């Protein structure tokens, strides 16, 4: 079956798709806000990294690929990517709470969420850890001629890792169907990216490896992200090889739940909150009469209810058995 092209023009995007993107951003925001509160209450153990503020950068990219067919590799801040790809919220919340009903049977937790059936090859606690898997998956698609592509998500903190340069170079040499996507929130933990690179932006490194580099100046503009990715996805599908793309966005919270974010000023954070991607997209669809107030309100309510339901599901789910520690250790 021929693959349907992703709509590049705003006027061609169906209303259902616009609302689905809006709902995905709401789910990311509500889910991560809820997990943040659960961590503070001691219900969720371990480290969590939130996608609050980066919703458009995640949803816009994934909306341009074919869900259930194309693949992604995620990074430590993978909640947004997982939800955008359509993961079951109940199973995801159970995974974060370490329950047996989680997507990885409670063994992965926040930084290692995977949903293989949905095309998510996994989040990763290692900086740049998904890049090797991404080009391996892309090589498989090329050899088997599946027509699928891979998006490799990573943060600005990964661009000085050796694996970034090695995998981008190899993907270029082999013309692999993979998109390297740097979501630049301007800080690698507490280190400003501007202090550790001697160029203006990461996408400019693409020329060193003979691949196109694309820049999304406003990663909080959902439509800008989506339209750029629609263009890039088509380029990769045509067999032209990999692409490096970078979007500029901002995380509202610290690097993780243990980070109070003292290296940023309140004024800086507040200024970025004025660029709230969800509020901006809501204004866009309402002002252009692409949806009604009632439809938007219904989505907001449904998202909040879905997240609350995921908490109930996770809390009522069983803990993994001791015996399960010895399962899923080796590949079949």
Domain range spanning residue 19? Answer: 11-85+120-306
The reported pLDDT for the residue numbered 156 is 95
pLDDT in tens, 23-71: 999 999 999 999 999 999 999 988 899 999 999 999 999 999 999 899 9
Number of domains in the chain: 1
Residue 194 sits in a domain of what CATH number? 3.40.50.970
Mean local confidence (pLDDT), 107-115: 92
Q: Is 319 domain-assigned?
A: no
Residue 330 pLDDT > 90: no
Does residue 316 carry a pLDDT above 70?
yes
Q: Distance between CA atoms of 50 and 28, rounded to whole angstroms?
A: 9
Residue 146 structure tokens? 């599946």
Residue 81, in any domain of the structure: yes
Domain assignment present for 98: no
Whether the pLDDT of residue 114 is over 70: the answer is yes
Which alpha helices (H) appear in 108-221, and where do they start and end?
131-144, 162-174
What would the mean pLDDT of 270-292 be, rounded to a whole number? 97
Please give the pLDDT value at position 2: 59
pLDDT at residue 8 in the model: 63
Cα 210 from Cα 173, distance rounded (Å):
9
Task: Give the pLDDT score at 183.
Answer: 98
Q: With residue 213 as reference, give the H or E element that holds it.
A: strand 213-216
Mean pLDDT of 275-285: 98
Establish if 316 belongs to a structural domain: no
When the pLDDT of each residue in the chain is averaged and rounded to a whole number, the result is 95
pTM summary value: 0.95
Chain segment 138-175, per-residue pLDDT in tens: 999 999 999 999 999 999 999 999 999 999 999 999 99
- Over residues 95-117, mean pLDDT: 94
Average pLDDT estimate for 253-263: 92
Task: Classify residue 289: in a domain, yes or no.
Answer: yes
Interatomic CA distance for residues 25 and 80, integer angstroms: 8
Q: Is 298 exposed, middle or buried (0-12, 13-18, 19+ CB in 10 A)?
A: middle
Vertex 275: Cα angle to 273 and 276 (nearest 5)? 70
- Residue 282 in domain: yes
Whole-angstrom distance, CA of residue 52 vs CA of residue 54: 6
Average pLDDT over residues 209-235: 98
Is residue 139 included in any domain, yes or no?
yes
């Amino acid at each position: 079956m021929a693959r349907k092209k992703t709509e590049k023009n705003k006027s061609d995007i169906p209303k259902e798709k616009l609302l689905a993107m809006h709902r995905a951003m709401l789910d990311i925001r509500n889910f991560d806000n809820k997990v943040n509160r659960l961590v503070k209450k001691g219900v969720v153990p371990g480290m969590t990294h939130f996608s609050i503020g980066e919703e458009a950068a995640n949803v816009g990219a994934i909306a341009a690929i074919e869900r259930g067919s194309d693949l992604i590799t995620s990074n430590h801040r993978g909640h947004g990517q997982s939800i955008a790809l359509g993961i079951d919220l109940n199973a995801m919340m159970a995974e974060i709470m370490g329950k047996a009903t989680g997507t990885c049977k409670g063994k992965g937790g926040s930084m290692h969420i995977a949903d293989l059936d949905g095309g998510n090859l996994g989040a990763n606690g290692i900086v740049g850890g998904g890049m090797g898997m991404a080009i391996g998956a892309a090589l498989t698609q090329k050899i088997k001629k599946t027509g699928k592509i891979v998006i490799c998500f990573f943060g600005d903190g990964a661009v000085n890792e050796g694996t970034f340069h090695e995998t981008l170079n190899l993907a270029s040499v082999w013309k692999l169907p993979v998109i390297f996507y740097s979501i630049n929130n301007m800080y690698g933990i507490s280190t400003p990216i501007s202090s550790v690179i001697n160029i203006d932006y990461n996408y400019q490194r693409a020329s060193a490896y003979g691949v196109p580099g694309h820049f999304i100046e406003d990663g909080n503009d959902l439509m800008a992200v989506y339209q750029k990715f629609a263009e890039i996805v088509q380029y990769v599908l045509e067999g032209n090889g990999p692409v490096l793309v970078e979007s500029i966005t901002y995380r509202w919270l610290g690097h993780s739940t243990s980070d109070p974010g003292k290296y940023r000023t309140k004024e800086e954070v507040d200024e970025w909150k004025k660029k709230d991607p969800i509020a901006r997209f809501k204004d866009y669809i309402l002002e252009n009469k692409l949806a009604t107030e009632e439809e938007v309100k219904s989505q907001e309510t449904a998202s909040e209810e879905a997240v609350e339901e995921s908490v109930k599901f996770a809390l009522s789910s069983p803990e993994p058995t001791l015996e399960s520690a010895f399962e899923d250790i080796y590949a079949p």
